[in-house]
Amino acid sequence: MADYKAPLRDMRFVLNEVFEVAKTWSQLPALADSVDAETVEAILEEAGKVTAKSIAPLSRGGDEQGCHWKDSAVSTPDGFPQAYSTYAEGGWVGVGGDPTYGGMGMPKAVSAQVEEMINSSSLAFGLYPMLTSGACVSINTHASEALKAAYLPKMYSGEWAGSMCLTEAHAGTDLGMIRTKAEPQADGSYKVSGTKIFITGGEHDLTENIIHLVLAKLPDAPAGPKGISLFLVPKFLVNADGSLGARNPVTCGSIEHKMGIQASATCVMNFDEAVGYLVGEPNRGLAAMFTMMNYERLGVGIQGLASGERSYQNAIEYARDRLQSRSPLGAQAKDKVADPIIVHPDVRRMLLTMKAANEGGRAFSTYVATQLDIAKFSDDAAARERADNLVALLTPVAKAFLTDLGLETTVLGQQVFGGHGYIREWGQEQLVRDVRITQIYEGTNGIQALDLMGRKIVGSGGAFYTLFADEIRQFIAESGPELAEFTKPLSAAVDNLDELTAWVLDRAKHNPNEIGAASVEYLHAFGYMAYAYMWARMAKAALGKENEEAFYASKLGTARFYFARLLPRIHSLSASVKAGSESLFLMDEALF
């Protein structure tokens, strides 16, 4: 496997040249005086070093050794505790955390780049700080001042970790069915009882305490999702002076044996009248948890991007070195017995597909992260509302499309290696196994597509979509003729999605099945259109500079490939959507 190198040049390009994020931050009072170009550059540089040197070398060994469970305790692979300590000491767990409680206070557009680096270096390792950061978001937004003061500083510092406990064996996506109970106590605490499954980082040896955010129901809770509350349940109780007290009755019953992410502990967690504290309002737990999950869903999308980036770095190095056959145009490396496989058209197709997907995904995830920053920090109510609506619309696309392309790019990277990609030695098969979970957790990609189509498109009457489409049209209108090779196909793609959106909205009025039937293909058509917007913006930032630096020539070449070979996928996707739901229900279920 090639040594991981953080794509810092591309990150700088997206942040500084494509989106000019410094201008956005200067208009957000909470960031204007605390974030500057020098600080961001230092953060990116240092994150690149720590992930490449301390964490990436552990990836293969961590996969082979995995986590181990014994007597309710979980041990992580060799080197993980030491690497986590190094990572925590650098302040990376709290890079986006509230400075009031010891976080760095960086905007999401910056922390998103750090997330990519940590997940490229080791997806399994990156899950531990990711869950902690997400838990901190919910605590900081919804918990009482006392809980924030007691827990956030140690979580931002990495001394304590966090987990998110939603799923139960009988209740996956349908959280309204959960059975975990919380009984109120005279001192204001609660006794939480129940069993949760698939809990990432529910138990491990990386930190001295683990803070679980647990969904449970109060005795008088209404039925369904409206009766869910959120509770903070620590592994060890915390004394008034901040020291650790007695062990809470929270135990790990087992860990899952999985397809991938072997070094990430996926736990069955048992809560036996464990002491917990209410976060937010009673029966409003889903709202509090979704504050975390919107960040986590973007984070999972970034995991797909990160895996694709690692796969591409491996594949491009291999394609330049591996000698096999001659170019269709004749020998290119005449001093060698064969040409490097990068001369072959199909290898170039695979590499360019990976490159276009990764760089488009980096731009798109940064765009969504910037909207999160505006929604969180702007003092302009209209700007906050617009950003909130864009985040609502684009989060399911970011989660599902980036991870679907993440699997495609890791498989393509494996394919570049041929038979060598199927054996463990080169690391490509691990990337395929690891990235597969990203399409499943934090809401399967089918659920994300239903969310986009049902809640965000149909639910808003198309208003959220129009907001995004109008922005793209404004960009096209403001672009000069020199960008026409990109803006013309982009305009056609927006027109196509306009028509597709209107078609589904009309059909859904008469047949609710049309929403689910259209959802996955619609999300992909949306994703390719959104990436076209990102690539047009990147092309605009690179145009005219291609003779100054090879980076810009590469960017324009990849943009042209995207518009020529990947954007046309929208036509088959649109045809599938317009085929309607009828063919899905032609057969009785007994005929399956």
Alpha carbon 125 to its chain's center = 15
Residues 6+ apart with CB under 8 A from 122: 55, 56, 58, 59, 62, 263
Q: Which helix (H) or strand (E) holds 246?
A: strand 244-247
- Beta-strand (E) ranges in 423-539? none
Residues 6+ apart with CB under 8 A from 568: none
The C-alpha angle with vertex 125 and arms to 311 and 426, in degrees rounded to 5, equals 30
Residue 8 covered by a domain: no
Closest CA relative to residue 198, chosen from 253, 255, 251, 250: 255
Residues 6+ apart with CB under 8 A from 428: 1, 311, 314, 315, 410, 413, 414, 417, 420, 421, 422
Structural domain harbouring 505: 444-584
Fill in the DSSP letter of residue 194.
E
Per-residue confidence (pLDDT) for residue 322, from 0 to 100 = 97
- Strand, helix or coil at 244? strand
Q: How deeply is 337 buried, as exposed, middle or buried, from its count of CB atoms within 10 A (0-12, 13-18, 19+)?
A: exposed
Per-residue confidence (pLDDT) for residue 295, from 0 to 100 = 82
Residue 20 covered by a domain: no
- 192 forms beta bridges with 182, 274
Residue 472 covered by a domain: yes
Per-residue confidence (pLDDT) for residue 309, from 0 to 100 = 98
Per-residue confidence (pLDDT) for residue 584, from 0 to 100 = 97
**Domain count within the chain:** 1
DSSP code per residue over 517-575: HHHHHHHHHHHHHHHHHHHHHHHHHHTT-TTT-HHHHHHHHHHHHIIIIITTHHHHHHH
Give the position of tokens 């980076």.
551
- Tell me the average confidence (pLDDT) per consecutive run of 10 residues in the chain, 592 residues long: 94 98 95 91 98 98 98 97 97 96 97 98 98 96 97 98 94 82 98 97 98 97 93 98 97 98 98 98 89 87 98 98 96 96 98 98 98 96 97 98 98 98 96 98 96 97 98 98 98 98 96 97 98 99 97 98 98 98 96 96
Closest CA relative to residue 527, chosen from 437, 399, 410: 399
Catalytic residues: 442
Per-residue confidence (pLDDT) for residue 225, from 0 to 100 = 87
C-beta separation of 361 from 369 below 8 A: no
Q: Rounded to two decimals, what is the model's pTM?
A: 0.97
Residues 6+ apart with CB under 8 A from 583: none
Per-residue confidence (pLDDT) for residue 449, from 0 to 100 = 98
Residue 321 covered by a domain: no
Residue 488 covered by a domain: yes
Per-residue confidence (pLDDT) for residue 76, from 0 to 100 = 98
Cα separation, 206 vs 250, whole angstroms? 17
Residue 176 covered by a domain: no
C-beta separation of 253 from 270 below 8 A: yes
C-beta separation of 452 from 371 below 8 A: no
Cα separation, 409 vs 415, whole angstroms? 10
